[in-house]
Structure formats: C-alpha cells, structure tokens
Structure 1
Amino acid sequence: MKTKILVFFLVVFSQSFFSQKIDQKYFPKEYVEITHPEWSKNATIYEVNLRQYTPEGTFKAFEKHLPRLKSMGVDIIWLMPIHPIGEKNKKGGLGSYYSVKDFRGVNPEFGNMQDFKNLVKKIHEMGMYVIIDWVGNHSAWDNSLATTHPDWYTKNRDGNFQPTPWYDWDDVIDFDYENPEFRQYMTESLKFWVKEANIDGYRADVAGFIPVDFWENARKELDQIKPVFMLAEWESRDLYKKSFDMTYSWTLFEKLKDATTQNKGIGGLVEYLAHDVGSVPRNAYRMVFTDNHDMNSWNGTPQRNFGKGLETSIVFCGVVNGMPLMYSGQEAGLDRSLKFFDKDPIEWKDHPHAALFSTLFHLKHKNQALWNGKYGGEMVRITNNKMDKVISFHREKNNDAVLPIFNFSNEELLVTLDSKYFQGNYTELFSKEKIQVKESYTVSLKPWDYKVLVKD
C-alpha cells in the first residue's frame, strides 16, 4: 500500500511541476549574469583522452581525427589536462593527468607548445572550439610552487603538505585559496593559455572545492581577453550566476542508471526532470552524459551501467535539457574501462553508436527546441497510459518542436499519449516514418524502445 501511495505522489508531484510552464520567480531571467559565447547556444561537446586516443598519444596524431569529429557534429573539443605530470608519488607507470607539475607547461608525452598551438588552430579552422582541463585545487608534489611558495598550500597538524582531505589523492597536495598571492598566480595562469594558445575556455576539475568568488573574478578577467566557455565539474546553482556556463549533471547519470540496471523504475528520472524545469536557472547549461573519464575508469562501462537501456539513455541525453557529451571511444562502442595511469589505446572500429550520436548532434544544431539554456524549449510532460514505465514530453521553440517517447522497461507496450495540445505532422528521427499526431497518439514500443518525433 505504501508503494502505491508513493507512486501516486510522484505522479501528482511531477505533473504539477512538469506539465506546465514554471513561474521563474526564484530564478528571474537575469539570474545568470554571464554572457554565454554566441556559438555555444546549440553546441555539443566531446571529451578527448589524449593518452589513449592513438598509439602515439600526441597532439599531432589526434589531429587526424578532427575531420571525423566535425562530420559527426562535435562543436567543443575538451582536452583532458595537457600539462606535465609529477614524478613524485605518481601512480602507475605514467602518472595521473590530474597531478600537475607545471601549470604553464605542456606534457612532453603529447608534444610541445607549438604542437598544441597548431592543434588549437586546426580546431578553429574547422569551425570547432577547444577547452582544456584545469586542475586548480591541487598540484603534484614536485610542482616548483611547493618549493618557491610553500605558503600557498594547506598543511596538516605537523605542518607538512597534505593531499586533499577525505580523498585518497596521495599523488597531489592541496592548495590554500585564502592566500591572495596564490589566487593572482592561478588567475594569471588561466589567462596565460587564452592569450598564448587562443583556447576558448576551461573544464574546471572539482570546481566546487575552490571558492566561488575566485571563479567569479577569474571569469571576469578571462572575458576581458575573449568570450570564454567555462564548464564546472560540479552540480551547484551558485556557480552559474557569474562563473560557469555549464555544470555536470551527475544526477541524471545516476537516475538513468537506476532506471535501467538498478531496477528502480522511472520515479527518480521523473523527479530529476521536474527539478530541472523547476529549480535550474533558465539560462544555465547542464552537461548530460552516459560516460566520461571518471565513470569509464572507476565506475564501469556504459554497457555495464545501462545494460539494454544504453541506447535509450544516449538518446534521452540527446533530447532533454542539456548539452550532450560524447567521451573518447563511445562512438566506437568502447566496452572496457581504460587504464588511468598507464598506456591503454582505444580500439577504433565502426559501430552503430557513431551514427546514433551523429544523428542526435545534427538534430541539436538545427532544431531550436533542443538548444541550450534559454535558447531552447522548455520540457513539458505529456501524460500517457503507462506512466510507471514510459516518459514522454514535448519541447518547442520558434516553430521547431520535438516529441520524444521512451520505454524504460523490458516489456513490449502499447502506449497512448494525451497529445491534445501537441497535434501536428511529425517525422520519426531514426526511422524517418511520417506520423500524424492527433488528440491522442498510440504507439507500440518494444522493450527499451524510443521514438523521437520531430515536427515537420
């Protein structure tokens, strides 16, 4: 009985938030004070694990993949840290990207500064943009700052350097952002790469461990050089206002996992969508994903995390509010966890996921309903007769509209949607079937099936 009451409450709660436009009284339109780069409004993003991308693992070798990524619809190339890696207390044979020995240097494993500049130039020439990973919370033990400015680090009770408290990051030592001289150094280092190599922004590692006022000032100074794009590895509203264009949506990853392989149903997903519409600032961007370097190396492959619902989850990320991410090798069906501290090249091969991502990315470019933040259409829930298994919604902007339907179950279902307010002629994105949606629309869905109806 308690279960039935809970399900009823979730349905009523989610509909009250999700089936109509939400009054943005808590987040007025101008809550996000930064200006997103114009090119980011319908952008997609791709994470590059350079070490594992090619047998050579270099900037030059990666350049050969740029035409393929461009043709797939990738806009933002996110490079994992490009800096020299510390030797002291390093992990594995090659060490962690995230143990930075020199914040203004290039890892010789990848090439030199000129090689990096050439890569950035080629990316720009192809109409794409590049951001680099920034590890501002800590450094390698043998970073020269530990010798020249030991006062820039936190200390334990014995007065010694310490890894970031609470984590087993024993290959790095923790910075002290209470020191104004250190803040200035780190801000100038961020500006260095924009000025020197013409990069377009940063992905900030554990951004929430660093004070918000540091990021707000850094963003202001970076934007004075050129409009930058900032991605926070964090999930917090306070980072949107003056600092970051986009944050991670870790929650969606977990709720998709719950709905596919953890047998928890779609209640968590519905709650996520309701909160996204009701509590996320309208002009904020969220990065949505089924894999990234952390998930792949430490939490298993997408195949394990999402099982038979993997493609369903990929498509879901392609049409909900947010910017979809593709991680290195996903388009090749990467089905193993890449080693993090040693060489472990990706096996490149043809795979259906390449076409899946490409179709979604190109749809995002041209269909304004799927654009990012305020540029896109709000998600409006469509009720159906299988509310405990099927999620259906509608997004519309400037006469562009999509109507996605997802079966998050292992059952074959005949689903009827209450589509009174969403009538029209549509084309199913993947099958190209022409569909007329009337006051109600009935569709047969196989287990884990999905349909994305695009309004003609």
Structure 2
Amino acid sequence: YCIKDYKKLNTRYGTKKDLKELVDAAHAKGMKVILDWVANHTSWDNAWVTEHPDWYTQDANGNVVQPQEQPWADVADLNFDNETMQQAMIDAMKYWVTEIGIDGYRCDYAEGVPDTFWKKAIAELRTLDNNLLMLAEGGKTSLMNNGFNLLYGWNFHSRLKDYYAGKCSLADLYAMNISESEGMPEGTLRLRYSTNHDQASEASPIECYGGERGAMSAFVLATMLEGIPLIYSSQEAAYPRSLNFFNYGVIDLKSNEAFAQEMAEIIRAYKATSSVRGGELEVYTTGDVASFYRAAGSHGMLVMVNTANESVQVKVPMEHAGKTMTDVIAGVDVKLPTVMTMEPYQYFIYQQ
C-alpha cells in the first residue's frame, strides 16, 4: 500500500510481459483481472514527493504529512484539491487498461478519496472500456453513485463474526443483511465474505468460526444469503493462522484439497441457483439454524445452515416441509421432512 511509482511493477512480481501473459491467460478462461489501486496516498520515496510537493497535503510549515485521520506513518497523504495531481492519477489508471488490458480496479480506502475524483476517474476510464469492473473498498452506499459496480459488505461481515462468537442473534444478522442492501443503486451489489484481507491479518476463519467446519458453515451463509461471494487467498486452503499482508508468506494451496473442493462445490451451487438470486427473500430463525428461502416465480432455493458445533433437531420451515427439492450439492431429489437432524455445522442447499 506504499506506491513508489504508479506506472511500474515491483520486480519481485515480474515484468510487464509476465503481467500481460497472466491477463491474456485469464481472459482465455473467461476470467477478469483487476488491480489494487491505492489513490489516497503514496510511499515517501515516490518521485512525486520531491518533484511535486504541492500534490500532497502539507502542514503549516510546508511539510508533506501522513493521512491525518489514520495511523499510517509509512505513507504521504495526497492533496485532491490539486487538479493536476488528479489528472496524473487518472492517466496512470488508464495506463494499465491500455497497456496491459486489465479489467478494472479494486480501489483501496475508497472513502478517503473525494467522490468528485472517483466520478471523474471512473467516467474517463469507461471511455476506454465501458465494461470495466470497479470495486470500492468501503462500506458507504453513497460510493456507488460514483460509478462503482461493487462495494464491500463490512457491516455484515462484522455481524457474522459477532454472531458466531455469541455476541448477537440470528435476527440481528438478518437485519444487517437488509440494512446493507438498502439504498444500493440498481445493478450494483455488495461483496459478501467470511474473511477478507484485513480480517485475515487479525485471525483466520478457522480461528473465528470454530474450526474448519465452522469456517465452512460461515462461508455458506455469507455466500448464499446475498450479494457476490469473495474468497480471500489462503481461505480455500483452510490456513489456520493470521496473515500479515505486509510480509511475504508461502501457502501450499494444495495442503487441504478436500476443503478447497468443498468451497468449489458451494460456488457451483451459488451459480446453479442464479435464477432465484434476485427473488423475494424470507428468513427463518430456529435455534442455531439459519434458514432462508428465495422465491422467483415457480422456482425457489432453501438454504439451511447449522451454525452450532453440536447436533440439533430442527423443523423444516412449515411451508416447505413435504416438498420435493433438489439437493444441489448431492445432486439428488429429496422429499423434505417435517423435522431433520443436522450435524455440527452441517448445511443444505435445496432448489426447485
């Protein structure tokens, strides 16, 4: 997050040729590649600091300063009142689209940068590619008025952690789901996740949710309830400890292939139920079992997640008991009982 040069690559990652080959290979698989863009501040050894000190926030003595509302002494705060700096920033953002063919940006600390800049920058970027994917790392719904497509679900994630820690109720979690969805412009969505870069630097999902099975149940709940699922690297390997994103660490992504495969199956279920994703949501609270139903015409999806580390007997929601639905994970049709036993952290995803 300390940018020395907005138009160069850290050689530890490789060359521009390497990046172009990576992007082209991803595109061949139908994937998009976005870069992390840190607009609010630069490193102290960025050439701008000496060449254009007026592009930075300064104190009364004319000294460039760090961001005033953050404890980030390792970076210099940019001055967005300076139009020349803004245009240089936009020019650098355009560079990677035109030179490498990237598909958009994840904009770091988006709330620290003025809305006026994002509106101008995104509008200019879309003249190059109207399909660019713009992700705001922030939680304020108002960010979406600047042209972003996606927004982080910070509050839902915090409430999810609190729920698994016994600090709030399932009803509180459902209420936060609704709250985060309110006011979102049409066609925009929030990321939903059980961990992210900041959370993983404090504790892994394994530590937060009661082990591997708890982490998987939290992932199912976050993925299937609302929004666009996010997977943070290391999560699919069930990495058991925190990760400092300022240091280099080695993770064997094949160390827990069964866990990774199960996550892949959940994503497959997410895609398979896309036809009902925008449908009407009905939630149920039955002890420690989170259940919710999505309806779209004659189609529907019922998800049931045991969030406790113990077996429970739970009533299937009355209006769905006796229905024949497809167990999406198992790939078989089942007639739903009136009451079922769910093992610790077990989950079911049904659709009709």
Common fold by TM > 0.5: yes
Distance 1:238 1:155 in 2: 28
SS in 1 for 2:92: helix
8 Å Cα contact 1:367/1:400 also seen in 2: no
Amino acid at match of 2:268: H
> Per-residue CA shift, 1:376-410, capped at 9, x if unaligned?
323522446x2x53322112346553110122334
Deviation at 1:316, TM superposition (A): 0.9
8 Å Cα contact 1:177/1:210 also seen in 2: yes
8 Å Cα contact 1:369/1:402 also seen in 2: no
SS in 2 for 1:241: helix
> Per-residue CA shift, 1:242-296, capped at 9, x if unaligned?
4210011111211111111244332321211232454444532111112222221
SS in 2 for 1:392: strand
Distance 2:256 2:308 in 1: 28
**Cross-structure match for 1:360:** 266
Are 2:82 and 1:185 equivalent residues in the alignment?
no
**Cross-structure match for 1:451:** 348
**Cross-structure match for 1:329:** 234
Amino acid at match of 1:452: I
Distance 1:262 1:162 in 2: 42
Runs of at least 5 residues in structure 2 that lack an aligned partner in the other structure: none
> Per-residue CA shift, 1:6-51, capped at 9, x if unaligned?
xxxxxxxxxxxxxxxxxxxxxxxxxxxxxxxxxxxxxxxxxxxxxx
**Cross-structure match for 1:430:** 329
Distance 1:282 1:412, change over 3 A: farther
Distance 1:183 1:213, change over 3 A: same
**Which shows bigger deviation, 206-215 or 304-313?**
304-313
Distance 1:329 1:236 in 2: 27
Are 2:186 and 1:289 equivalent residues in the alignment?
no
Distance 1:392 1:138 in 2: 43
Distance 1:379 1:312 in 2: 23
Distance 2:310 2:118 in 1: 47
**Cross-structure match for 2:6:** 103
**Cross-structure match for 1:143:** 46
SS in 1 for 2:278: coil
**Cross-structure match for 1:391:** 290
Deviation at 1:421, TM superposition (A): 7.1
Q: Which has the higher contact order (CA 8 A, sep 6+)?
A: 1
SS in 2 for 1:130: coil
SS in 1 for 2:118: helix
**Cross-structure match for 1:158:** 61
Distance 1:389 1:115, change over 3 A: same
8 Å Cα contact 1:289/1:325 also seen in 2: yes
Percent identity between the two aligned chains: 30
Q: How does 1:221-240 map to 2 (within 5 A)?
A: 221-226=124-129, 227-240=131-144
Distance 2:205 2:266 in 1: 18
**Which shows bigger deviation, 415-424 or 115-124?**
415-424
SS in 2 for 1:444: strand
Are 2:153 and 1:249 equivalent residues in the alignment?
yes
> Per-residue CA shift, 1:124-170, capped at 9, x if unaligned?
11211100000000001010111111101001233211111132211
8 Å Cα contact 1:369/1:395 also seen in 2: no
Aligned residues: 348
Amino acid at match of 2:215: L
**Cross-structure match for 1:405:** 304
Alignment counterpart, residue 377 of structure 1, candidates 239, 259, 278: 278
**Cross-structure match for 1:68:** none
Normalization by structure 1: what TM-score? 0.71
SS in 2 for 1:129: coil
8 Å Cα contact 1:202/1:230 also seen in 2: yes
Distance 1:377 1:277 in 2: 12
Root-mean-square deviation (CA, aligned residues, Å) is: 2.2
Distance 1:397 1:152 in 2: 52
**Cross-structure match for 1:15:** none
SS in 2 for 1:448: coil
Distance 1:422 1:152 in 2: 64
Deviation at 1:337, TM superposition (A): 2.0
